[in-house]
């Protein structure tokens, strides 16, 4: 069971692009299993006729007019970037299937 969950955890950590140490893997899989078990409680409730709620306010059609405003100076856009070249963000080799 636990080993199974470690597989699950590794897959999830890959999806989330998180490097986990072995200790973290062990700790998280134990904790997350416990948390998810507790969350099973939700299955007690019958929600077959309930609409899901993604927004709490009864708002809709919040749109803006198609108007151009000044962009930000590129110096400010790039200021916090770890690495830049030719006014672009620099990234290392993109390997197959990212």
Partner 1 sequence: MYLPVIGLEVHAQLLTKSKMFCSCSTDHENAPPNTLVCPICMGMPGVLPVPNKKAIELLIKTALALNCEISPFSKFDRKNYFYPDLPKGYQISQYDLPLARGGYVEFEVDSEIKRVRLKRIHLEEDTGKLLHVGEGDRLAEAEYSLVDLNRCGIPLMEIVTEPDIHSPKEARLFLQELRKILRYLEVSSGDMEKGSLRCDANVSVMTEKGILGIRTEIKNVNSFYSLEKALEYEIERQINLLKEGKEVIQETRHWDEKKQITVTLRGKEEAEDYRYFPEPDIPPIIISKEILEEIKKTIPPLPLQRKLLLQNTLFLSPIESEIITSEKELCEFFDECLKLYNNPKNLSNWITVELMSYLNDQKLNFRDLNIEPKRFVKIIEMVDKNEITRPVGKEILRKYLDTKEDPEKIVEKEGLKTVSDLDFLKEIVKRVIDGNERAVLDYLKGKKNVINFLVGQVMKETKGRASLDLVKNLLEEELNKR
Partner 2 sequence: MGIIKEIHNLYLKKEITVREVIEKYLKNIENWEPHVHAFLTVNLDYIEREIKRVEGLKFNEDLTLYGIPVAIKDNILTEGLLTTCASKILANFIPPYDAEVIRRLKEKGAIIIGKTNLDEFAMGSSTENSAFGPTKNPWDLERVPGGSSGGSAVAIATGESPLALGSDTGGSIRQPASFTGVIGLKPTYGLVSRYGLVAFASSLDQIGPFARKVEDLAIILQVIAGYDPKDSTSLPYSPPNYLDSLGKSVKGWKIGIPKEMWERGVEDSVLEVLDSALKVLRDLGVELIEISLPTVEYALPTYYLIATSEASSNLARYDGIHYGYRNKNQKDLISLYKVSRGEGFGSEVKRRIILGTYALSAGYYDAYYLKATKVRTLIRQDFESAFRKVDLIISPTSPVLPFRLGERIEDPLKMYLIDILTIPVNLAGIPAISVPAGFKDNLPIGLQFMGPFFSEDKLLQISYAFQKLMDFSEKYPNTVEGL
| Nearer to partner 1 among residue 45 and residue 57 (C-beta) | 57
Q: Mapping DSSP to helix (H, G, I), strand (E, B) and coil, where does residue 66 land? A: coil
In whole angstroms, the minimum distance from the beta carbon of 31 to partner 1 comes to 21
Hey, what are 9's tokens?
A: 């955890």
Start-to-end CA distance of the chain, whole Å, equals 30
In whole angstroms, the minimum distance from the beta carbon of 14 to partner 1 comes to 10
State yes or no: residue 62 binds partner 1 (CB under 8 A). Answer: yes
Hey, what are 95's tokens?
A: 């390997």
State yes or no: residue 66 binds partner 2 (CB under 8 A). Answer: no
96-to-11, 12, 13, 66 alpha-carbon distances in Å:
18, 20, 19, 38
Hey, what are 18's tokens?
A: 């998180």
85 phi, psi to nearest 5 deg: -150, 135
Residue numbers at the binding site for partner 1 (CB under 8 A): 15, 17, 54-55, 57, 59-69, 71-72, 74, 77-78, 85-94, 96-98
**Residues contributing to the site for partner 2 (CB under 8 A):** 8-9, 12-21, 24, 28, 31-32, 34-36, 38-39, 41-45, 47, 50-57, 59, 62, 64, 72, 76-77, 79-83, 89, 91-95, 98
């Amino acid at each position: 069971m636990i080993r199974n969950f470690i597989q699950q955890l590794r897959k999830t950590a890959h999806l989330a692009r998180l490097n986990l140490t072995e200790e973290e893997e062990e700790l998280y899989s134990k904790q997350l299993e416990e948390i998810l078990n507790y969350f099973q409680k939700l299955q007690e409730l019958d929600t077959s006729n309930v609409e899901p709620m993604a927004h709490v306010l009864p708002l809709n059609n919040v749109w803006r007019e198609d108007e151009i405003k000044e962009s930000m100076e590129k110096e400010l856009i790039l200021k916090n970037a770890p690495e830049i070249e030719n006014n672009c963000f620099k990234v290392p080799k993109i390997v197959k299937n990212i």
